[in-house]
Amino acid sequence: MSNKIINKFASAKTYIETCDKYFLFVFIPSILLIIAGWYWGIFIAPPDAVQGDSYRIIYLHVPSSIYAQLIYWIMAAWSAIYLIWRVKLAAYLTKSAAFVGLLVTFLALFSGSVWGIPTWGTWWQWDARITSTIILFLMYLGLIALHDSFNNQNKADNLMSILTIVGCVNLPIIKKSVDWWSTLHQPASITLTDNPAIDPAMLYPLILCIVSFGFVLISMGVLVSKLIIFNREKNRNWVKNYG
Amino acid sequence: MIKYLSQEQTKLIYKSRAWLTPLILFALIMIAFPLSIDLFGKQTSDLFMIIIVISLLLTNYLAIDDILLEDYEDGSFEQFLTQNKSLFSSVLAKLIILIIYKALPLSLLTILFASVNNVDPFVFLDLFLISFFCQILFLNIFLFGSALGINKGGLLGLIVVMPIVFPVIIIFGQSMTLLQNNSSIDSFLLLSLGISFLITPMFSYLSSLILKMHLE
């Protein structure tokens, strides 16, 4: 019974059909919500007592920083699923997530640099958090480079999955960098264990942005994964008959 | 098995003089760097600690660059597989020989150059140990990278494992800073020793698994 369920959901065909069925129900609300979140954060939330209006970049910077790390954990989980159960779909999703992760990490770095100019007086500092985030960016880049350098896609999937799991060693360093080193970058304002160190008037739009940005990334990941699946399974009948 | 392989590898590495290249490069960097600063100044002892991390990183990358490639290209690994011999033992033996022939002499050279650069003799033992353990970590990671990109050139291997090298650079760099201030680095020594013991068999196994994938 359980094998039957796994086989059903591990099939690329079922995945594509499910995505097609629900994509618009996720994509359109997520776009509307992110616009609402950014509008709330940029035009309605009060200015910061110290930073003035420059802090409003958090509505892009914080969500992208959170997902830059979270996507890597998700990739590691999919890699493990691929290596243990040989579910091809997991390998496709790992690669598509690497592209989304690369983009999001770039956004986190870019928005951080833009924020750094008015607050730190410089767009770049060899600070522990920034350096560890650029390492994360290189990790995504390395994974994509490794996968693309092999013609044999199964071999590429295997190698990418192994490297993804080994690369997890950097994630605790990135997460804890602001606590372990004395850095210019502030410690996390929102944690799962403590009360948020941010005013509710600024926090609510931020939470809305974080949640909706997550759904935007899921939509983006679905689109990228569809491209990868169609490319990899182009000789299958169901792909030829698709649409 | 490992003993036999080690003897073979020792003969090979000794005959080819390949073990000399990283040592010469390391010596060259160590001789050249004081010349580029101030030959009689006190700066050399401070800068030595900084330059040592980067020079050992580079020389270890050079040391591992073609370690698997020769056996991969001449079919030795393929022969191993067809004869049902353990690829893991072969890779582990290669790594151990590399540690003995390259990492150990480089750590000894580090002490030699530390003494000529006016570094406090009090820290020599710690310096030797931390450079040795960190080199084991470097070699393991570069071996893994070499296995990943074996038929695609050394650069791919370097690019994909560079992010994994950074934690080692952090440990090594922090230790150097502490040694510069004559502080104890016991915790870092234990940490690097522990990780070395853990990742040497682990990365040898992963590298042999990857080589097997390349060969299949």
SS (H, E, C) B93-133: HHHHHHHHHHHHHHHHHHHHHHHHCCCCHHHHHHHHHHHHH
Looking at every residue in chain A, the average pLDDT score rounds to 90
pLDDT of residue B5: 63
Identify whether the C-beta of residue B114 lies closer than 8 Å to the C-beta of residue B49: no
B3: which residues sit within 8 A by CB, 6+ positions away?
none
Q: Where do the structural domains in chain A lie, given as residue ranges?
A: 59-185
The whole-model pTM stands at: 0.87
Q: Do A169 and B164 touch (CB under 8 A)?
A: yes
pLDDT of residue A205: 95
3-class secondary structure, A124:
coil
Q: Do B162 and A142 touch (CB under 8 A)?
A: yes
Give pLDDT tens digits for A7-37. 767 889 999 999 999 999 999 999 999 999 9
User: What is the distance between the alpha carbons of residues A98 and B67, in angstroms, rounded to a whole number?
Assistant: 30
pLDDT of residue A227: 95
Max Cα–Cα distance, chain A, nearest Å: 61
Give pLDDT tens digits for B93-121. 889 988 988 899 999 999 999 998 888 89
Q: Is B149 on the interface with A (CB under 8 A)?
A: yes
Q: Which of B50, B160, B211 to mutate to test the interface with A (most CBs of A within 10 A)?
A: B160
Q: Is B156 on the interface with A (CB under 8 A)?
A: yes
Q: If you ran DSSP here, which 8-state letter would residue A187 be given?
A: P
A34: which residues sit within 8 A by CB, 6+ positions away?
A209, A212, A213, A216
Give pLDDT tens digits for B157-184. 888 888 899 889 988 999 999 998 888 9
Axis crossing angle, helix B20-35 with helix B43-64, rounded to the nearest 10: 160
Distances B148 to A160, B157, B207 between C-alpha atoms, Å? 9, 6, 7
From chain B, pick out residues whose CB is under 8 angstroms from the CB of A162: 148, 206, 209-210
Chain B closest-CA separation from residue A167 CA (Å): 6
Confidence of residue A210 (pLDDT cuts 50, 70, 90): very high
Give pLDDT tens digits for A212-222. 999 999 999 99
The whole-number average pLDDT for the span A58-77 is 96
pLDDT of residue A138: 92
Looking at every residue in chain B, the average pLDDT score rounds to 86
Q: Do A149 and B156 touch (CB under 8 A)?
A: yes
pLDDT of residue B38: 67
Give pLDDT tens digits for B117-168. 888 899 999 999 999 999 999 999 999 999 998 877 777 888 888 889 988 9
The whole-number average pLDDT for the span A171-179 is 83
pLDDT of residue B81: 83
Q: Is B1 on the interface with A (CB under 8 A)?
A: no
Q: Is B171 on the interface with A (CB under 8 A)?
A: no
Cβ-Cβ pairs closer than 8 A, A with B, add up to 52
pLDDT higher than threshold 70 for residue A192: no
CA atoms within 13 A on the CB side of A114: 13
- Comparing CA positions, the residue from B86, B140, B92 lying closest to residue A166 is B140
User: What is the distance between the alpha carbons of residues B107 and B200, in angstroms, rounded to a whole number?
Assistant: 18
Q: Where do the structural domains in chain B lie, given as residue ranges?
A: 2-25+43-215
B58: which residues sit within 8 A by CB, 6+ positions away?
B25, B29
User: What is the distance between the alpha carbons of residues B97 and B11, in angstroms, rounded to a whole number?
Assistant: 10
